[in-house]
Structure 1
Amino acid sequence: MSFEEDDAVILHDQHSEYDGEEGTVTQVMENMFGDATYTISFEDGQETGIPEDSLEAVEDEE
């Protein structure tokens, strides 16, 4: 699943201080291998270069 800017996601990265936290996609980049990487903004910071497989979509509560 790919993500777009302004999508709400949960980060799963045990090496990140934001592991398990919900954030918002602020930038989508493509690396030299053609894979998407993401910049995610959290309430108190951001993480860059996050691979798609470290992200989980937040389900809408509608």
Structure 2
Amino acid sequence: MSFEEDDKVIFRDEYHEKDGEEGKVVQVSETMFGDETYTVEVDDETIGGLGEDQLEAVDG
């Protein structure tokens, strides 16, 4: 699943203090290999360089 800017997501990273919290995609970038990386804002903290596997869609 790919995400777009302003999509609401759940951030998943068991080693990060914001793991499991809801945020929103603020930027979508493409790597030179054609993969998408995401920058997400969670509680006024911006977390960049995220892969699709670190995000979960929020219904609604």
| TM-score > 0.5 by shorter chain | yes
CA deviations on 1:5-54 (whole Å, 9 max, x unpaired) are 00000011112221100000000001122110000011231100000111
The count of corresponding residues between Structure 1 and Structure 2 is 60
Residues 1:37 and 2:33 aligned together = no
Counterpart secondary structure, 2:6? coil
Give the whole-Å Cα distance in 1 for the aligned partners of 2:17 and 2:37.
18
Q: How does 1:19-34 map to 2 (within 5 A)?
A: 19-34=19-34
1:17 aligns with 2:17: yes
Amino acid aligned to 1:38: Y
Where does structure 1 lack aligned partners over 5 or more consecutive residues? none
Question: Secondary structure of 2:53's match?
Answer: helix
C-alpha separation in 2, matches of 1:30 and 1:39? 11
**Backbone CA RMSD of aligned residues:** 0.9
Taking only the aligned residue pairs, the percentage that are identical comes to 58
SS in 1 for 2:14: coil
CA distance in 1, matches of 2:11, 2:39: 11
